[in-house]
Amino acid sequence: MSLVREYDRDPAREAENLRRHGIHCHDAIVALLDPFAIEWFDEDHSIDERKSVTVGRDLRGRLLAV
């Protein structure tokens, strides 16, 4: 089972993120699930909904901020 299926997906947004940041959605999800990831509440961007920032590694070992 793919990890990506457990998250809401928006193909248009995924394509835009890939174009702008060079990161596939699947890589970002892997970084979110990294057992050594660090997560904190993002007060500045939590106006309409609670948001957080997670820093973790993808399967290639890249450190990603998601």
Does position 3 have pLDDT exceeding 60, yes or no? no
Q: How many distinct structural domains can be found in the chain?
A: 1
pLDDT at 63: 97
Residues 5-64 pLDDT 10s: 566 778 998 999 899 999 998 899 999 999 999 999 988 877 888 888 999 999 999 999
Task: Give phi and psi for 64, each to the nearest 5.
Answer: -120, 140
pLDDT at 34: 96
pLDDT at 1: 43
State which residues form the domain around 13: 3-65
Q: pTM of whole model > 0.75? A: no
Distance (Å, whole) CA 58 – CA 26 = 9
In the sheet that holds 38-41, the strands lie side by side as 38-41, 52-57, 63-65
